[in-house]
Structure 1
Amino acid sequence: MRCLVVDDEAFMRTLITRILGGLGARDVRACEDGQAALVVVGDGVDVVLCDLNMPGMDGIEFLRHLAGMNYDGAVVLISGEDERVLQTAKTLAQAHELRVLGAVAKPVTPAALGTLLKDATRPTTRRAGPRAPIDPVAVEELREAIASDQLTVFFQPKARVSDRVVVGVESLVRWRHPERGLVPPVAFVGVAEEAGLIDAMTDVVFRQAVAQGGRWRARGLDLKVAVNISVDSLGRYDLPDTLVGIAADAGLPPSQIMLEVTESRLMADIKSPLEVLTRLRMKGVGLSIDDFGTGHSSLEQLRRIPFTELKIDRAFVHGAARDKAARAILESNASLAQSLGMTTVAEGAEDQADVTLVAALGIDLIQGHFFAKPMPAEDFDDWLADWRG
């Protein structure tokens, strides 16, 4: 393992070099600033251990240049700065698409470095450059997709934390494009909102989702079906009667429907959304405030809209056991929802540490890749049978 230590303090360079030698590093080089380090990186380095606060080119600027070189090794951040600054630097490095093993506060110990370096030598693929953006879709192409049934719904399970019983699903739209294959929603939902197609798309997704929910219910599966709805659709005064009527035709009662509202756009006129959401609640439909803690999902919206469920964004769930700031936000959001009598959902659980923390905080439901990724209905049936079996 070839390592590069970048630190302006001679004592720290010597100390970290000795620690790395004790951990089995066969080639350790050291530089006192980022500018000199960039030259060494060009010769081939497996792991860069970088201080943040240095004269000249500091660690933050060094990370930017490192990404510009398409560096495909690993990075360990080291600093005497406070923990939140260190965590922010880690987030920045990840935004640059650098492979960050972790961050270590000074004074550095063999145990702390040894834990991080376990993953340092796993194979990586050299980045060819910045990640290619998702190709934009044309409005007319999307209009045709909606009209010709190219949109389909995947389902991701939501499990009760206390006993891990699956009690619901979130319905997620996908586009089976005849040439591009499966297109993710990030590529076309925004286009639908801008082009005035969101109502038509919501109608397609809702009909497919409740139809499947009705089929599950007919087989004795008591699953609450969640469907995302854009704020743009909440200006339709006929929406409550329309949605409840569609669900009734599919054999799904309002109590088994959860509408997840994400404020992708600020509510310019609150009167229509308030009326529509209140009438939906009066009909027994559940309302979830999605991605809480981000965007426009504010405490004000939580106060004035009759939400029954609060979904805590994945940014505050995954890794919260190792991130004090994320844990504090997760805990406060859970406590807030509980005090308001709302069901809490932790979205984005990806490992056992996430699940353990969510359980310790008394959160009701959990959703994430730790349990299952979104999948077609037929795959969901097989997955659920295995999960229960």
Structure 2
Amino acid sequence: METLSILVLEDHPFQAQVVAQQLRTLGCRNLFCAADGEAALVRLSSHGPVDIALCDINLPGMDGLTFLRKAAECGAIRSVALFSGLAPDLRLAALQLARLLGLQVLGDLGKVLSPDSLRNVLLRYRRGAPAAGAQSDDAQPTAQEARLALIQGQLVPYYQPKVDLRSLQPAGAEVLVRWQHPRLGLLGPAGLLPLLEELGLVRDLTEYLLKAAMAFLQWQQPESRLPLAINCPPYLLEEPDLPGRLQELLDYYRLPSSLINVEITENGLPGIAANSLENLLRLRLMGCGIAIDDFGTGTSSLQRLCQLPCNELKLDASFIHGMEQNPRVLAAVTSSLALAASLGMNAVAEGIESTRQLEQLRELGCAQGQGYLFGHPMPGREFANWLRRWPGSTLPKEA
């Protein structure tokens, strides 16, 4: 956290001082405060871009909304977390505005900060994005490097644990990708996926991860094997040989199909074609699970949801992060869980970071979850060690 640059945009001097002190306690050194948007822009013009803006909205002079628009236009901030006493529905709309402006949204802190909530906001940025303005053209991966990454085995599968929220026993994992770049170090998917899309190699990546995941399952003792979830871009569902190719891989690795879950994002559902629907049906008939990922952030209709052969809903992390501060978000989570239950679908909450979130989700009847509270994405052998060390029925310590 020492490397993060942070702006605290708050007009009350004492409140700004309290936030700044909490940030310093968390190890942040590169930070400054401003009392209104105009003063913040002046400081940013001399300071340079910052990674995170902790932003109030009701400010004298230039308010927070105008500041966010102007700062986004000139690239002065990379991400934002709201620190405001506005009504919850207005805060939710302000965060949506920030997303539309192209900013990374880290969360809604309300007006009363706790060290844990502030720390979680910083960790979301640290793990989710590079520092603002930190990369030159020479520090950007190239399409040719992405092509070589697939050939030379530079892509590493990482596993984020999924836990049964009632028993706290491990329930599986989501398979993610990291790029061990020879020049830039370990990169997340944001530096890789657009390049592979450009090259038409996303199918190759998906098969690469499937093979790696199945090899990992085969390496484990049969009694230790848990289902693994693979993200599948919706357009890959149109390929007629998808179910057959997956069955060939399962046969080769001698694994049951129940150990593979296919996750598709909700945004891919509205325009799903007949052959995609047929493939989803075939995957379910084979015994694979089908999950709708990032549920609540897309545009699918209830009719489409009822028609598709999916057996799992994954609630997007943004809803879990907003439950405590925003009654509307809590209502959306509650109704989504009730919908999943009424449709006979498993519900998985993403982005669980605190024991309070865990307790709320348990009270609401959510079956499974994943997030930093349980474990970060990790390489295969580290995940195997996590499975052996996981305490089980006791509440974990917060990340």
> Would the TM-score normalized by the shorter structure come out above 0.5?
yes
Distance 1:325 1:212 in 2: 41
**Equivalent position of 1:304 in the other structure:** 307
Instruction: Name the counterpart of 1:161.
Output: 165
| TM norm structure 2 | 0.73
In our comparison, the structure showing a higher alpha carbon Rg is 1
Q: Is 1:58 equivalent to 2:63 in the alignment?
A: yes
| Residue 250 (structure 1) aligns with | 253
Match of 1:107 in 2: none
Unaligned runs of 5+ in 2: 1-7, 22-32, 48-52, 123-129, 393-399
Aligned partners of 1:90 and 1:103 also within 8 Å: no
Identical residues among aligned pairs (%): 33
Q: Deviation at 1:356?
A: 1.0
Q: Given that residues 346 and 366 in structure 1 are in contact (C-alpha distance below 8 angstroms), is that contact kept between their aligned partners in structure 2?
A: yes
Distance 2:219 2:81 in 1: 50
Match of 1:209 among 201, 206, 213: 213
Q: What TM-score do the two structures reach when normalised by structure 1?
A: 0.75
Compared CA separation, residues 318 and 144, structure 1 to 2 (3 A):
same
User: Does the alignment pair 1:139 with 2:151?
Assistant: no
Provide, for residues 154-208 of structure 1, a one-character-per-residue CA deviation record: whole Å limited to 9, x for no partner: 1111110101000211111222222222221122223323432111111111011
Cα distance 1:136–1:287, how it changes in 2: closer, same or farther (>3 A)? farther
What residue in structure 1 maps to residue 202 of structure 2? 198
Q: Is 1:230 equivalent to 2:233 in the alignment?
A: yes
Please give the alpha-carbon distance, in whole angstroms, between the structure 1 residues aligned to 2:63 and 2:307: 46
The answer on whether the counterparts of 1:230 and 1:264 sit within 8 Å (CA) in structure 2 is no
Cα shift readout 1:36-74 (whole Å, capped 9, x = no counterpart) = 7988999x9xx99956276x5334224566887979xx9
Q: Aligned to 1:252, what secondary structure does the other structure show?
A: coil
Runs (5+) with no aligned partner, structure 1:
7-15, 105-111
Matched, 1:352 2:355: yes
- The amino acid across from 1:258 in the alignment is N
How many residues align? The count is 354
Relative contact order (alpha carbons < 8 A, sep ≥ 6): 1 or 2 greater? 2
Correspondence 1:1-389 to 2 at 5 A: 6=11, 52=58, 57-62=62-67, 77=83, 82-89=87-94, 102-104=109-111, 130=133, 132=135, 137-218=141-222, 220-262=223-265, 268=271, 270-388=273-391
- 8 Å contact kept, 2:228–2:259: yes
Q: Which amino acid aligns with 1:379?
A: E
Shift of residue 286 of structure 1?
0.8
Alpha-carbon separation, structure 2, partners of 1:178 and 1:39: 39
Q: C-alpha separation between the residues in 1 aligned to 2:39 and 2:186?
A: 45
CA RMSD of aligned residues (A): 4.3
Moved more, 295-304 or 59-68: 59-68
Secondary structure class of the residue paired with 2:220: helix
Distance 1:101 1:278 in 2: 39
CA distance 1:167–1:378, shift in 2 (3 Å): same
Query: Matches of 2:262 and 2:92 in 1, distance apart?
Result: 34
